[in-house]
Amino acid sequence: MKVLQILPELHAGGVERGTLELGQHLVQNGHSSVVISNGGRLVEPLEEQGSRHIRLPVHRKSIFSLSQVGALRDILHAEQPDILHARSRVPAWLAWLAWRKMPPASRPKFVTTVHGFYSVSPYSAIMTKGEAVICVSSAVRQYVTQNYPRVSPEKLCVIHRGVDPEAYPNGYQPSPEWLQNWTKEFPKTRGKFIVALPGRITRWKGALDFLQVIAALKEKGIPVHGLLIGEAHPRKQDFYQALHAAIYRAKLEKDISLTGHRGDLREIMAASDVVVSCSTDPEAFGRVTLEALTLGKPVAGYDHGGVHEQLSALLPAGKIPIGDTSAMAECLAAWQTAPPQPKANDQFTLQNMLEQICATYTDLLKPVK
């Protein structure tokens, strides 16, 4: 089986990481993996894992991108993949326009993955055009059925994102050297009840709600320290400045650290007492919370989207009504003295995800009776 995945670029990100994971799995199981993108720093590891990369400018949200349809169709004719898997809207449009003009008997099966709650529009509807449509959570499947009622439910399949338990082992502890360097860099965390909120610094990720939770814990006399782990998008600096101002207004400058982007998130979560999700809009899945749960860390999160599905399966006590910062503070205060243990994650694993995607491909390729 030859699978051709197409996405805008190969820089850091969840979709990009999933593309590499699937490519490696295909190669390891004797299949061929080809990826089309505009390139990026992940091309080298992709090729080292045995996939081939074809560079094509399929990333721009511009009418001029339509000029790539012919070149893409030529690639499809030359490569003759069994599966064409589109993972983002612009490449999906280009792939579909190239694919639909091919002879039905010889063209590949067309698969799309809905990775998020896209704006409802004809532009976003392309992600529902696959002969199989993979949804990364039940919440995403519900979004598709509610907003695109003409899509046949039979072609929708929920395949949750997965985490490799070997990369995030339950009970993992950072090395003494790492802990020493960490407390040297962030001395205010020493001896504190550490509450971590990983994710990009944006309003919808709930950073302002997080401040309220930390303030409430502080009022209860708990020696808490909050970690906001992530960076602000260059175009979102106004909110970043507003967040700093809110921290000072709440007199929390000694109780909250903004770490910026980190390459050691696993270690930081393992060194924290609790990880939280305060996203005011639902997460399509929420990979970081699953990583924390897989490590065995208690997670409290607003009860919607993919986080709802994770917590329902692994730690129901962590489900918090959306926007209820008081309830989250009460939950965390109780966990300070009696932290719960999440169930072992044998459901949302990387291996399960990869096997289910390949099974979807295989089902599509079966002859129609």
- Per-residue pLDDT band for 343 (boundaries 50, 70, 90) equals very high
| pLDDT > 80? residue 185 | yes
Q: Are 72 and 95 in contact (CB under 8 A)?
A: yes
In the chain, what are the domains?
2-162+349-365 (3.40.50.2000), 176-337 (3.40.50.2000)
Report whether pLDDT(233) > 80. Answer: no
**Residue 207 — pLDDT band, cuts 50, 70, 90?**
very high
The answer, yes or no, to whether residue 368 has pLDDT greater than 80, is no
Please give the Cα distance from 41 to 209 (Å, whole number). 35
Q: What pLDDT is attached to residue 279?
A: 95
- Which pLDDT belongs to residue 234? 74
**Per-residue pLDDT for 12 more than 90?**
no
Give the pLDDT score at 236: 73
In angstroms, the CA 299 to CA 291 distance is 10
What pLDDT is recorded for position 89? 95
Structure tokens at 214: 């930390």
Instruction: Evaluate if residue 118 carries a pLDDT over 80.
Output: yes
- Identity (one letter) of the amino acid at 205? K
pLDDT at residue 99 is higher than 90: yes
Percentage of the chain exceeding pLDDT 90: 86
Cα separation of 203 and 240, whole Å?
A: 9
Tell me what pLDDT residue 330 has: 98
Q: How confident is the model at residue 196 (pLDDT cuts 50, 70, 90)?
A: very high
Per residue in 135-168, pLDDT tens?
999 999 999 999 999 999 999 999 999 999 999 9
Nearest to 63 by CA among 85, 90, 38, 44: 90
Computed on alpha carbons and rounded to an integer, the radius of gyration of the chain in Å comes to: 22
Cβ neighbours for 180, distance < 8 A, ≥ 6 positions apart: none
**pLDDT value at position 278?**
97
Mean pLDDT of 174-203: 95
- 369: exposed, middle or buried (C-beta count within 10 Å: 0-12, 13-18, 19+)? exposed
How much is the mean pLDDT over the chain?
Answer: 95
Residue 11 in this model has a pLDDT that exceeds 90: no
Nearest to 317 by CA among 336, 333, 301: 301
Give the pLDDT confidence score for residue 250 in this predicted structure: 94
Q: Band of the pLDDT at 61, cuts 50, 70, 90?
A: confident
Structure confidence at residue 147 (pLDDT)? 97
Interatomic CA distance for residues 172 and 181, integer angstroms:
18
DSSP 41-67: TTHHHHHHTT-EEEE------SGGGGG
Would you state the pLDDT for residue 168? 97
Neighbours of 206 (CB within 10 A): 25
pLDDT tens sequence across 288-308: 999 999 999 999 999 999 999
Check whether 202 has a pLDDT greater than 80.
Answer: yes
